[in-house]
Structure formats: structure tokens, C-alpha cells
Amino acid sequence: MRAYHMPASGGPPRLLQIDASQPGSEQIQVRIFACGLNFADLLMLNATYQDTPDLPFTLGMEISGVITALGAQVSGFAVGDRVAVFCGHGGLAESGAFAASRAVKIPDQMSFEQAAAFQIAYGTSHVALDHCARLRPGETLLVTGAAGGAGLTAVEIGKQMGARVIAQARGADKLAVARAAGADHLIDAGDDLTEVVKALGGADVVYDVVGGALWKAAFRATNPGGRLLPIGFASGDIPQIPANHLLVKNLTVIGFYIGGYLKSHPEVVRGSLDRLLGWFVEGRLHPHISHCLPLERVAEGMDLLRNRKSTGKVVITMPGQPI
């Protein structure tokens, strides 16, 4: 099979022919039809992601496809089931063997592309805002990087949870995407975020995927008793948090990483995903995919993420999807 593979010798990834993996006793084998790209894939390229596997490995954190074989101890699935898998790596390939515990059946209404764009971004935003930050109806949610994969889902989920949403993004086109997802107020990259948010009454919850100067500005604009979620550091600048300011304003900073929750609190992630899939079936969620590219163009998809040229998700598709 073809796979976008990090070789054992190191160096850049390449599209190679490698042997297909056979499922272990608790695994399913999946014919992969789509793989969602994530910012973490870029970090894995540089071995700076907290869950980068040992070389050699195939990139790609979340996939969708059809089950082609089952391990001896797998129950609840059948050959032919349409599934999505939060696999962590191994997704940028034509086939893969993955833990059945990481898989979920996808609704008939959901395309393979939508399914491959769903679990990480929506799961991160929903668990962070609902389980961790306890966002309440009527509160004000500030989202930075609001047109990206995670940020855009935070806008959409924040509205579903009854919040007033302030979205920060760069440029009119990205702000229009955030507006379409439900944002009530928009902040461009050149605006004074602290000043604008304070003029709107301050933020009760901050969902920050950028870090750096934007984190500091959002921190200053957070209301007393507010909750801040450092979800990512797309700026490359990991901020230091002044504990004395937390004390004075009674602020709470909540670290959240969905990969860690899958290990420590899998029932929370599974319950969140069940609710999110229900919302999708009800027509309340609309995954935004700005680019679908074939496997041969993975490097182009990575560049779209690296250069901030995409909105929502970039999805890589494999040949031979069933009609």
C-alpha cells in the first residue's frame, strides 16, 4: 500500500510503498478513504509533538473508511462498517490496523471527508468548553484563531451551548468563515483585542489556540472569575502565566489535551463524541473543509496548514471511495 511515511533513517517524509498492517486481536483493519490533517502533524515532522512515535511511522492522526477485517477479540463492529478512528498516527495511507477502542461508527448522513475532519477538532472544543470550562448559556466566549480547525469548531459549539461568541482571526475572508459558524462579534488581527473585548463586557471563557501576544491580550480581557483554556501555540510562543494575576482576578487556567484524555478519561471523550454525532445528525453542526486533496498532494496540504492558508480542516482523500 502507499503511505506518507517517516523513514527509519530520518529526513523528510515520503510517499512510499510499504506493507499493509494486519489487525491484532483488539484491532480493526480499515480501508482508508480520508484522513484529516492537524497542526500536530507539523509538529511530528519536527519531532516536537508530545506523542510523536518512534521512527519509522506513517503520519495522519484521524481517518475514516470501511472495516475490512476484525481482530479475534473485537466485538461491536462488523466487516463493511463505516467508521472514523482517532488513530494518532498511521492515517495517511491506503489501509491501516487500529485499536477498535479508538473507532466509532459514523452516521449514514456523514461523508468520509466530514468524518475524517470531525473527531479531533470537535472533540477538543466540546470537551474543553463543556467538561473542563463549564461554559454556561449567556456567558461570553472569546476564541482566538477562530477560522482554524479547532478554533472554528469552538465558535460553532460555543453557539450551540448558548454563549455569546467573540471570534479573532486574520483578515476579512477568515472572519467571514467565523461569522458563518455563528460568531457574534469579530476581531481582526490588527485590532487591539484587549480593548475590543473589554468594550464588549469582557470574556468569561477564553479558548486560545495561538499563544504569544494574543494569549496575553486575552488574559487582560478576561473577567474576574473567568476560565482560560490554552489549547495550542500556533504562534510558536508558549506564554508564561503570572500566578499573582490569577490570584487577584480569581482566574482559572485549564490545560486540556484530548490525546491525554483518551488515556485517562476515555469515557468523557466517548460521551462527548456521541453527543457531537447526534448534533451532526440533527443538522446543528456543519464541518468546514476548505481543501480536499489526493494522497499525492499531502505535502501541499501540510504547507496550507504551515502557512495559514486554510480555514477549518484540510482533508486528504484516497482513491476508490464507494459511491
Q: Where are the domains of the chain?
A: 2-118+287-317, 121-259
**What is the per-residue pLDDT for 46?**
86
Task: Please state the pTM of the whole predicted model.
Answer: 0.95
Identify the bridge partners of residue 95 per DSSP, sorted by sequence position: 31
What confidence category does residue 47 fall into, taking pLDDT thresholds of 50, 70 and 90?
confident
pLDDT digits (tens, 9 = 90+) for 177-191: 999 999 999 999 999
Burial code (b: 16+ CB inside 10 Å, e: under 16) for 184-201 equals bbbbeeeeebbebbeebe
**Per DSSP, which regions of the chain are E strands?**
2-6, 14-17, 27-36, 57-58, 62-70, 82-86, 95-99, 103-105, 140-143, 164-169, 185-188, 203-208, 222-230, 252-253, 289-294, 313-317
**What is the per-residue pLDDT for 323?**
52
**What is the per-residue pLDDT for 320?**
78
Cα dihedral 29→316→260→271 (10° resolution): -70
**What is the per-residue pLDDT for 322?**
66
Is pLDDT above 70 for 70?
yes
- Output the average pLDDT for the chain: 95
Distance CA 156, CA 153 (A): 5
Q: The CATH number of 121-259 is which of 3.40.50.20, 3.40.50.720, 3.75.10.20, 1.20.120.140? A: 3.40.50.720
Is pLDDT above 90 for 160?
yes
What confidence category does residue 153 fall into, taking pLDDT thresholds of 50, 70 and 90?
very high
pLDDT digits (tens, 9 = 90+) for 206-258: 999 999 999 999 999 999 999 999 999 998 899 999 999 999 999 999 999 99
Of 273, 206, 284, the C-alpha closest to 246 is: 206
**What is the per-residue pLDDT for 50?**
87
pLDDT digits (tens, 9 = 90+) for 263-286: 999 999 999 999 999 999 999 999
C-alpha grid cell for residue 228? 482560560
Which superfamily does 2-118+287-317 belong to?
Medium-chain alcohol dehydrogenases, catalytic domain (3.90.180.10)
What sections of the chain are H helices per DSSP? Answer: 39-45, 112-116, 119-126, 149-160, 172-180, 193-199, 212-220, 243-249, 258-264, 266-281, 298-306
Distance CA 122, CA 139 (A): 20
Match 490569577 to its residue by C-alpha cell. 246
pLDDT digits (tens, 9 = 90+) for 90-130: 999 999 999 999 999 999 999 999 999 999 999 999 999 99
C-alpha grid cell for residue 60? 495522519
**Cβ atoms 269, 123 nearer than 8 A:** yes
